[in-house]
Amino acid sequence: MQRRPPRIDSQGLSAIKLGASRFAWDDPYYLVLAMSWQAFLGAVLALFIGVNVIFAGLYWAIPGAVGNAKPGSFGDAFFFSVETLATVGYGEMTPAGRYGHTIAAAEIFVGMFLTALVTGAFFARFARPKPRLIFSDSAVIGPYEAGQALMVRVASRRLHAISEVRGRISYLRTFRLPDGGTFRRFFDLKLVRSENPVLSLSWTLIHPIDAESPLHGMSQEQLLAEAPRLLVSITGFDEAISSAINDRHNYRPEDIRMGHMFAHILEDQPDGAIQIDLTRIHDTFEVPPGQAVGFSDS
């Protein structure tokens, strides 16, 4: 049976990699970090059961290797293996004879390594910094100053601020070749401001649509026909966890709303504080042609 090549699905960008393995056994650290929590816990459970079954078989193969165990009972051998691997030792069953003590010593040695490896794997997964950024569900194209601009809104779900924030919007365009083939190219969209000293509220990334922009003069129908992708990436330093973070979001053509603006989510409070409503970060409203509308950008 032919194995299906691994598919990569990253925020709407789907690809199939030939010659790559989904489970790279020669790269165990990446494998442990890349798998889901369900798969990781299932793998740990399978490893635990598998090791105990192997050692239980060794105890069970030689009658009398485990003292006080029922003769021929694989269940007693298995649970004795569990107690030995975990160094619990309730005292009812004990290794007997030179063979039993040898297998028990080998299992304790293996158990020390397995405990260290599994503990390290758990720590590595928990220690990975999570960006906890929230991107607007859609990008908008609306009035900006004397022209039009593409806008994307981003904010942090955490209470602490993110410092030294950098934003980038890349435009993935597909070109048709005369021989019928295609090639894809990323264009970096020029932003009004690509750096932010601190992200504590929200930040609207703005790309003015001028004559140099690949979006210049493009209608909604042309946009859907060309089927580009917008890749928004954010990097910064999370002060809460003292670690650099990065996150990205992908927008498909149907996620780009022309003639729309983002709804205001910032409100000044009587005590001088600024309130932000993250539940409305995705809200947009339609702008009539020729009407100038302000926007919130912090």
Most confident range, picked from 17-31, 201-215, 218-232, 282-296: 201-215
pTM given for the model: 0.69
Grade residue 3 by pLDDT with cuts at 50, 70 and 90. low
What would the mean pLDDT of 85-114 be, rounded to a whole number? 87
Q: Indicate if 22 and 73 belong to the same structural domain.
A: yes
Beta-ladder partners of 145: none
Q: Indicate if 62 and 179 belong to the same structural domain.
A: no
What does the alpha-carbon distance between residue 35 and residue 6 come to, in Å, rounded to a whole number?
14
Q: Are strands 139-144 and 256-258 parallel, antiparallel or unpaired?
A: parallel
What would the mean pLDDT of 178-206 be, rounded to a whole number? 85
215 pLDDT higher than 80: yes
Q: What is the pLDDT of residue 139?
A: 92
- Residue count (the chain): 298
Other residues' Cβ atoms within 10 Å of the Cβ of residue 111: 18
Grade residue 22 by pLDDT with cuts at 50, 70 and 90. low
The residue from 77, 99, 127 where one domain ends is 127
15 pLDDT higher than 90: no
Token reading at 53: 């079954």
What is the span of the domain harbouring residue 96?
16-127
Q: What is the pLDDT of residue 254?
A: 87
For residue 183, give Cα distances in angstroms to 60, 169, 251: 62, 20, 19
The residue from 127, 142, 167 where one domain ends is 127
Average pLDDT, the chain: 83
Q: Indicate if 58 and 30 belong to the same structural domain.
A: yes
The residue from 103, 127, 151 where one domain ends is 127
Q: What is the pLDDT of residue 190?
A: 92
Question: What CATH number is attached to the domain comprising 271?
Answer: 2.60.40.1400
Q: Indicate if 205 and 230 belong to the same structural domain.
A: yes
Q: Is residue 8 part of a domain?
A: no
The tally of domains found in the chain comes to: 2
Q: Indicate if 89 and 141 belong to the same structural domain.
A: no
Q: What is the pLDDT of residue 288?
A: 77
Grade residue 145 by pLDDT with cuts at 50, 70 and 90. confident
Q: Is residue 143 part of a domain?
A: yes
What would the mean pLDDT of 66-79 be, rounded to a whole number? 88
Q: Indicate if 250 and 267 belong to the same structural domain.
A: yes
Q: Is residue 89 part of a domain?
A: yes
Q: Is residue 291 part of a domain?
A: no
Q: What is the pLDDT of residue 50?
A: 93
What does the alpha-carbon distance between residue 210 and residue 191 come to, in Å, rounded to a whole number?
11
DSSP letter for each residue of 14-82: EEE-TT--SS-TT-HHHHHHHS-HHHHHHHHHHHHHHHHHHHHHHHHHSTTSEETPPTT-HHHHHHHHH
Q: Indicate if 147 and 244 belong to the same structural domain.
A: yes
What does the alpha-carbon distance between residue 146 and residue 149 come to, in Å, rounded to a whole number?
10
Half-sphere exposure of 102 (CA within 13 A, CB side): 5
Q: Indicate if 210 and 273 belong to the same structural domain.
A: yes
297 in helix, strand or coil?
Answer: coil
Q: Indicate if 214 and 95 belong to the same structural domain.
A: no
Tell which wins on pLDDT, 272 or 247: 247
Grade residue 184 by pLDDT with cuts at 50, 70 and 90. confident
How is residue 272 annotated by DSSP?
Answer: S
Percent of the chain with pLDDT over 70: 87
pLDDT 10s digits, 252-261? 888 999 889 9
pLDDT 10s digits, 81-93? 998 888 887 778 8
295 pLDDT higher than 60: no
Q: Is residue 208 part of a domain?
A: yes
Q: Indicate if 46 and 144 belong to the same structural domain.
A: no
Q: What is the pLDDT of residue 1?
A: 44
Q: Is residue 294 part of a domain?
A: no
Q: Indicate if 83 and 157 belong to the same structural domain.
A: no
Q: Is residue 296 part of a domain?
A: no
Q: Is residue 87 part of a domain?
A: yes
Question: What CATH number is attached to the domain comprising 71?
Answer: 1.10.287.70
Q: Indicate if 74 and 202 belong to the same structural domain.
A: no
